[in-house]
Amino acid sequence: MISDTNDIIEKVLIDEESINLRIKKLASYINDHYKNEDTLIMVGILKGSVMFMSELAKHIKVDTNLEFMAVSSYGAGTTSTGNVKILKDLDTDIKDKNVLLVEDIIDTGNTLYKLKTNLEKRDPKDIKIVTLLDKPERRTIDIKPDWYGFKIPDEFVVGFGLDYDQSYRNLPFIGVLKREVYEG
């Protein structure tokens, strides 16, 4: 139970209002890109993207199908293991379809690169990437989002879908987790 976020959060990095305003702006870019298309398949990467994808989808004007994939590369730690496993695959065939990968955060880029490579083999018409958070200084592989909400420094963040060991996803803001929480 989170009784007081002061016990776990060092500082609020991005407040709820700023997140919501930026999501509306991202939706406008995406709407412009897909304005002449019939359908968009939004693929949320579970579990972190759920809150971001839910808010983003509300503002998308093109007919949209929501899909989800579950992939893992973290375990219970704070850094990626580098081994990417697909735990839940798509239920829809994406051949000749416009696909928008929806991520909560791009860190090293390894997971997203492997996932995008996997999906490209399925012959979609187009694959674009939108992420709420981009942490470019941690990137170890050359992959960039087509759209991003916020570039953030190399700090361990939670909230708005992002977790530490499955906790703190429900915070309405993005906060820097205190080191003693994950090092203690």
| Pairing assessment for the beta strands 126-134 and 98-106 based on DSSP bridges | parallel
> What stretch of H or E contains 110?
helix 110-120
Residues marked active site are found at: 107
Sign for the pseudo-dihedral over CA of 177, 180, 181, 184: positive
- C-alpha 51: how far from chain center: 9
Enter the DSSP assignment of 40: E
What is the rounded CA–CA span in Å between residue 82 and residue 179? 22
* Cα–Cα distance, 147 to 144 (Å, whole number): 9
